[in-house]
């Protein structure tokens, strides 16, 4: 092989290695189904079953929800009321924007500057749920998730989140004891993930939303831990859709923007996009290769052009190659 070819291949391998390393958690997430920590269907007593009272309840009986202020929009009122009505022995906390800021300022002052710096209100709504779970414990429920049955069986796990298809976990329904190591890690990680990613949807997803939570979860899972530190996984059928499921969704998603539609489209066509990704990578690789050969290999035969294409003497060529290597 020519020396130039070898250098080209080495540089490409380095770049690929760097990318794989940078995205290893995201790639790992694609293959993580959470089954090792799944809450099995058979271990959840049916609604009203007397088995429910025999189980130890670890999570405090508190339901947390968030909204801008106390005026809950009509489309979410029924869902909110269904959770309150089913749990009259639970404490109910609605975290409005004002209350959330007061709470962060009083209990987590080191986070206040990040909290205030968020560009999108939904980032604050995402962040506050992790803090209140870490502080009080309880169950957080999105306003568009209504309750289909009492949540008592889910109080028996020190921490749980719900699995989403095809990959990752969501932050729309989660439960935890106070000071659970997973949620402590989540609140500690938020500031480092407060970055801007061109599209608002990706920025929100990856700074505070489900993608952020999934990445922290994947990293957390990759370290062996004692049973009580595991985050148990509520599977899709137990989440919604059946008589025994815990939640009941009245979708009024807060996402209507163009980039949300783009992301949903990308989600549906991910096989096509992956193939296209490889094709583009191949074309880019070929282009780089031909540029490389023109720049370095063809130097000797050049016709005295200026700049990139100017004539490169044999000596210069080797110096150049050595510098690149």
Ligand X SMILES: *[C@@H]1O[C@H](CO)[C@@H](O)[C@H](O)[C@H]1NC(C)=O
Footprint of ligand X (CB under 6 A): 68-69, 71
**Residue nearer to ligand X on the CB measure, 54 or 71:** 71
d(C-alpha 65, C-alpha 173), whole Å: 10
Rounded to a whole number of angstroms, the minimum distance from the CB of residue 94 to ligand X is 12
Please give the Cα distance from 309 to 94 (Å, whole number): 66
Cβ at position 96, least distance to ligand X in Å: 9
Q: How far is the CB of 73 from ligand X (least distance, A)?
A: 8
CB of 68 to ligand X, least distance (A): 4
The residue (of 67 and 135) whose beta carbon lies closer to ligand X is: 67
Q: Pick from 194, 210, 207: which is nearest to 162 by CA?
A: 210
The count of residues in the chain is 325
Give the integer Cα–Cα distance in Å for 34 and 43: 17
Alpha-carbon gap, residue 265 to 269, rounded angstroms: 6
Spatial strand order in the sheet of 62-66: 91-95, 62-66, 138-141, 169-176, 159-163, 232-234
Nearer to ligand X, 68 or 288 (CB): 68
139 backbone dihedrals φ, ψ, rounded to 5°: -125, 125
- Chain residue at closest Cβ approach to ligand X: 69
Q: How many helices (H) and strands (E) does the chain have?
A: 13, 8
Shorter beta-carbon distance to ligand X: residue 52 or 68: 68
CB of 241 to ligand X, least distance (A): 31
Strands (E), 184-302: 232-234, 247-249
Nearer to ligand X, 70 or 89 (CB): 70
Contact status, residue 211 vs residue 25, Cβ threshold 8 Å: no
Q: Report the residue number, 68 or 84, with the smaller CB distance to ligand X.
A: 68
Q: How far apart are CA 145 and CA 174, in angstroms?
A: 12
Q: CB 207 → ligand X: shortest distance, Å?
A: 22
CB of 95 to ligand X, least distance (A): 14
CA dist., res. 287 & res. 177, Å (int): 54
Residue with Cβ nearer ligand X (7 or 72): 72
What are the beta bridge partners of residue 63? Answer: 92, 139
Q: For residues 235 and 169, is the Cβ–Cβ distance under 8 A?
A: no
Question: Minimum distance from CB of 125 to ligand X (Å)?
Answer: 13
Indicate the residue among 35 and 69 with the shorter CB distance to ligand X.
Answer: 69
């Amino acid at each position: 092989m020519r020396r130039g070819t070898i250098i080209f291949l080495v540089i490409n391998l380095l770049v690929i290695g760097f990318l794989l390393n940078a995205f290893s958690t995201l790639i790992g997430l694609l293959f993580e189904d959470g089954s090792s920590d799944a809450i099995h269907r058979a271990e959840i007593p049916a609604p009203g079953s007397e088995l429910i009272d025999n189980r130890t309840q670890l999570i405090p009986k508190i339901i947390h929800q968030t909204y801008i202020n106390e005026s809950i929009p009509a489309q979410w009122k029924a869902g909110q009321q269904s959770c309150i009505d089913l749990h009259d022995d639970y404490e109910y906390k609605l975290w409005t924007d004002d209350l959330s800021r007061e709470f962060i300022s009083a209990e987590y002052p080191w986070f206040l500057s990040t909290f205030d710096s968020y560009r999108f209100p939904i980032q604050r709504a995402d962040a506050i749920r992790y803090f209140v779970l870490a502080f009080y414990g309880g169950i957080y429920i999105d306003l568009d998730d209504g309750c289909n049955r009492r949540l008592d069986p889910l109080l028996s796990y020190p921490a749980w989140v719900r699995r989403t298809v095809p990959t990752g976990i969501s932050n729309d329904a989660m439960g935890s004891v106070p000071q659970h190591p997973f949620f402590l890690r989540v609140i500690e990680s938020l500031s480092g993930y407060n970055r801007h990613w061109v599209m608002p949807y990706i920025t929100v997803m990856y700074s505070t939303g489900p993608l952020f939570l999934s990445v922290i979860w994947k990293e957390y899972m990759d370290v062996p831990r004692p049973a009580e530190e595991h985050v148990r996984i509520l599977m899709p059928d137990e989440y919604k859709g059946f008589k025994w499921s815990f939640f009941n969704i009245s979708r009024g998603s807060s996402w209507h923007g163009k980039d949300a539609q783009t992301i949903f489209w990308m989600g549906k066509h991910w096989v096509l996009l992956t193939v296209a990704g490889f094709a583009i990578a191949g074309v880019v690789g070929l282009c780089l290769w031909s540029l490389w050969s023109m720049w370095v290999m063809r130097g000797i035969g050049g016709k005295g052009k200026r700049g990139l294409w100017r004539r490169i003497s044999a000596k210069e060529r080797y110096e150049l190659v050595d510098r690149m290597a």
